Amino acid sequence: EALRKLGASLRIGGPGTSRRKFKNVRAMSDKAEDAMFQGTLRKLGINQVPDIKEVQFVKEDGTCMVFSNPRVLANIGSNTFVCQG
């Protein structure tokens, strides 16, 4: 009877579920996230554009962001660009 009471206190779900003290939450690693991102880019048909040394973004307020040696990917037909780095 004591074992039964102890087992009931460890149960998280309803009857018939496994008895565990906590639910194990798995975090996604950076490699897995990067692989999913690359897969999404592949589905969009985005290819790398070679020989780009610098990318400048000019904001509406006049400030400028400069990226040196970025990895630029593009799908010219759908007007989609990705800058990494």
Q: Delimit the domains of the chain by residue range.
A: 46-85
This prediction's pTM: 0.55
- For 17-60, what is each residue's pLDDT tens digit? 666 667 777 777 778 888 888 899 889 899 999 899 999 999 99
pLDDT score at 4: 72
Which CATH architecture best describes the domain 46-85?
Answer: Single Sheet (2.20)
> Reduced to 3 states, what is the DSSP secondary structure of residue 30?
helix
Instruction: Please give the residue that has the higher pLDDT: either 15 or 54.
Output: 54
Rounded Cα distance, 56 and 63, in Å? 10
Cβ neighbours for 75, distance < 8 A, ≥ 6 positions apart: 44, 45, 46, 47
pLDDT score at 57: 92
